[in-house]
Every structure is written in C-alpha cells, then in structure tokens.
C-alpha cells in the first residue's frame, strides 16, 4: 500500500495509548494485537494489553474503583514484578504512586508495586513513542520514502540510508563549491570554497562544469527529490546520471550515486501485485518504480551498485536486509 500512512495504520508504531486503551476496555477485549499491543510480556503469557499512558487521574480513578487497566481478561495484565502475579484485579489500591515510590520496594504492597510498574512502563512506552515519531520524521525527509509503491523503511534502513544521504549531500555541496569557484575564476567573493584544494578533481564533474545543465543536474544527485514531480526528478536524475554515474566522488571514494543508494534489500515491496519496486528481485539493475508508475531512469536504478566502503552500508554488511530484496 502506501509508504507511510497506511503502513503506520496497519501496524502503528506507537499506538495512541490512551485511545486504544479506552477503546479496548470499552470493548472488553483486546485489540487482537493488531493495535500494536503485541502484549507479550515477558513471562506471563497472558496477552497483557496493559494500559498505556494512563493519565494520572484515570489511573487514580481506576485505582479507586479497584479496576486495573488490562485486567480485561481476568488474567493479570502485568505480572507483578515481585513474583506473585495472581490477582490482577488488584484490590483497591488507592495508594498513590508518588507515595509508594518513596518506600522501599520491599515494603511496597503488591498494588503499589503494580502502580509503580505501570508508571514506569508508561514512561518507557512514551519514550519509544517519541523515538518512533522522530524516526518517522527522518523517513519523511529521506528520498525513497515517499513513493506509493515503496514500503515504509525499517528503522535500521532509515538510519543507514540517512547516513549515506548525509554523506552524499556533503559531497555534493563540496563539489558545488568547487565548481562555482572554477566557473567564477577560482577564489572569489562569497564562494571561496573551503574545499578547494582539499578535493581532487574528478573528470566527470569537470565535464559537468563544462555543461551547466549537467552540472546542475549533478548537484541534484540522482535522488528522487521529494518535492520535484516525478518527471522533473527523472529528468534531473537522468542528466545527473550522465554526469555523475561513473564518478566516484573524490576524497572519499564514495560514489555520488551509490552513496545514497540504499541496498535494495532495505526497501520492501508493499505487495506482490505492485511491479517490484525494488527492481528485479536480486537487486540487479531492475527498474525501480519509485513512484509507482514509470520505470525509474535514474542512475541508482541503472547502474549496478558500486562497492563503496565509506558508508559501511554495503549490502554485504547487511545480509539480512539484503535478503529482503528477494
């Protein structure tokens, strides 16, 4: 389906806990795991959709009512960290968490421990939720993450791709500085390139300098720009490919193209019905339909992935991810 939204909905990275919990409770049954509460707490096999993120008042209210979030099935939502689980439907534990936490844990009653555990769990859940939000934000600014035919990047793929993307942008910037300095006669005005002299000259990019259009394209690397329409992006990519495809950026040995090319295995096909967005299975020069429509002309899809070592993201280093492409 889609890259982000639908997938998020299909398996929410972090459920709106309050809503889900309330809904769940009102239904009297768990969301069946689909909601994101895979339950599964460590030792207690009871699917414990423990109440997520309960507001303090809600917690108090439930505590006062003798209701424990997650006792929906009568089974303990959480096994008490102090061994004895049993009564999930804890007896009225009206004691406040704050007061209970001040005691020694050994002195705490079971309900108090449960309250504390809930509080800690809730914090952790929120922390992970925030982390996922940040991860989604990162996905949004990554190329490859927007095509309807491209499935949501996994966390590891997002991080690795982001790293390479940054490297590529850095190299592009340096190259642009250098080219500008050459075009305008070297060392002038506001564009004095700090990189001048630090970067070796690459023939393809010099050629690009001779052809402004190509140079322009080369500075819009063969990345599917999130903003440009597919056609424009494809045109730019094609031009860039002509100028850059064979160019390993100086200094790093990092190919401008490959630097951001994610191992195709990092991208997962949303469905078998969609023309394999990752290209022909094994990642060999397939036509990656980044936008779910036309075959991608960009160099990323046309040029076999050079072996770059800078990123540390070579497919060989990610056997697991690579195998995904199959």
Partner DNA sequence: TAGGCCATCTGGTCCT
Partner DNA sequence: AGGACCAGATGGCCTA
Q: Which residues bind DNA (CB under 7 A)?
A: 10-15, 17, 32-34, 36-45, 47-48, 50, 52, 78-79, 81, 98, 101-102, 117, 119-125, 127-129, 132, 152, 154-157, 268-272, 320-321, 323-324, 326
Could you tell me the two tokens for 82?
A: 């102090």
What's the CA dihedral at 198, 200, 205, 210 to 10 degrees?
A: 90
Please state the closest distance from residue 230 (CB atom) to DNA, in A. Answer: 23
Least separation in angstroms between CB 144 and DNA:
14
**Cα–Cα distance, 32 to 122 (Å, whole number):** 20
**192 Cβ contact partners less than 8 Å away, ≥ 6 residues apart:** 181
Residue 126 or 225: the one with the smaller Cβ distance to DNA is: 126
Q: Is 29 exposed, middle or buried (0-12, 13-18, 19+ CB in 10 A)?
A: exposed
Query: Which C-beta is closer to DNA: that of 33 or that of 253?
Result: 33
Task: Tell me how far, at minimum, the Cβ of 154 lies from DNA, in Å.
Answer: 4
Instruction: Please enumerate in sequence order all residues whose Cβ is within 8 A of that of 101, keeping only pairs 6 or more positions apart, or say none.
Output: 116, 119
- The smaller minimum CB distance to DNA, of residues 155 and 211, is found at 155
Tokens of 250: 């100086």
Is there a contact between 267 and 260 (Cβ–Cβ < 8 Å)? Answer: no
Region for residue 312 given its phi and psi (left: phi exceeds 0; alpha: psi -120 to 50; beta: otherwise)? left
**Helix residue ranges, H only, 51-154:** 56-65, 97-102, 110-140
- CB 60 to DNA: min, Å: 15
CB-based contact 231:273 (threshold 8 Å):
no
Query: 3-state DSSP call for residue 62?
Result: helix
What is the smallest separation between the CB atom of 189 and DNA, expressed in angstroms? 43
Which residue number, 131 or 231, has a Cβ lying nearer to DNA? 131
E strand or H helix at 254, and its extent?
strand 254-255
Instruction: Give the nearest distance from C-beta 17 to DNA in angstroms.
Output: 6
Taking CA atoms, 186 is separated from 193, 197, 218, 282, in Å, by 9, 11, 20, 45
| Nearest by Cα to 277 from 295, 263, 261 | 295
Question: At closest approach, how far in Å is the CB of 200 from DNA?
Answer: 36
Report in angstroms how near the CB of residue 326 gets to DNA at its nearest: 5
Determine the Cα–Cα distance for residues 76 and 104; give it in Å rounded to an integer.
24
If the CB atoms of residues 112 and 174 are measured against DNA, the closer one turns out to be 112
C-beta closer to DNA: residue 90 or 202: 90
Q: How far is the CB of 288 from DNA (least distance, A)?
A: 14
Give the burial string for 292-324 (b: 16+ CB within 10 Å, else e): beeebbbbbbbbebbebebbebbbeebeebbeb
Which residue, 65 or 133, is less far from DNA as judged by CB?
A: 133
Q: Which is nearer to DNA, 15 or 230 (CB)?
A: 15
> CB-wise, 13 or 246, nearer to DNA?
13
């Amino acid at each position: 389906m889609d890259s982000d939204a639908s997938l998020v909905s299909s398996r929410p990275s972090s459920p709106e806990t309050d809503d889900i919990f309330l809904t769940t409770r009102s239904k009297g049954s768990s969301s069946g795991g689909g909601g994101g509460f895979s339950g599964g707490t460590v030792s207690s096999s009871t699917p414990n959709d423990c109440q997520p993120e309960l507001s303090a008042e809600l917690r108090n209210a439930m505590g006062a009512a003798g209701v424990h979030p997650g006792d929906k099935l009568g089974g303990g939502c959480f096994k008490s960290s102090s061994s004895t689980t049993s009564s999930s439907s804890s007896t009225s534990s009206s004691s406040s968490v704050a007061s209970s936490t001040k005691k020694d844990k050994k002195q705490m009653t079971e309900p108090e421990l449960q309250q504390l555990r809930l509080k800690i769990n809730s914090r952790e859940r929120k922390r992970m939720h925030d982390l996922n939000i940040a991860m989604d934000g990162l996905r949004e600014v990554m190329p490859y993450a927007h095509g309807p035919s491209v499935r949501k990047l996994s966390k590891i793929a997002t991080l690795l791709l982001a790293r390479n993307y940054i490297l590529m942008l850095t190299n592009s910037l340096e190259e642009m500085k250098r080219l500008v300095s050459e075009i305008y006669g070297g060392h002038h005005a506001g564009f004095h390139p700090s990189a001048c002299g630090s970067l070796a000259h690459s023939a393809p990019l010099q050629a690009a300098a001779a052809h402004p259009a190509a140079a322009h394209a080369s500075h819009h690397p063969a990345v599917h720009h999130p903003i440009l329409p597919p056609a424009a992006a494809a045109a730019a990519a094609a031009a860039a490919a002509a100028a850059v495809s064979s160019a390993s950026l100086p200094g790093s040995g990092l190919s401008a193209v490959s630097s951001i090319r994610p191992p195709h295995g990092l991208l997962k096909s949303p469905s078998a019905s969609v023309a394999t967005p990752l290209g022909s299975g094994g990642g060999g020069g397939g036509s990656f339909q980044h936008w779910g429509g036309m075959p991608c002309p960009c160099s990323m899809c046309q040029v076999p992935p050079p072996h770059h070592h800078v990123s540390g993201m070579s497919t060989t280093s990610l056997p697991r991810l690579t195998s995904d492409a199959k």
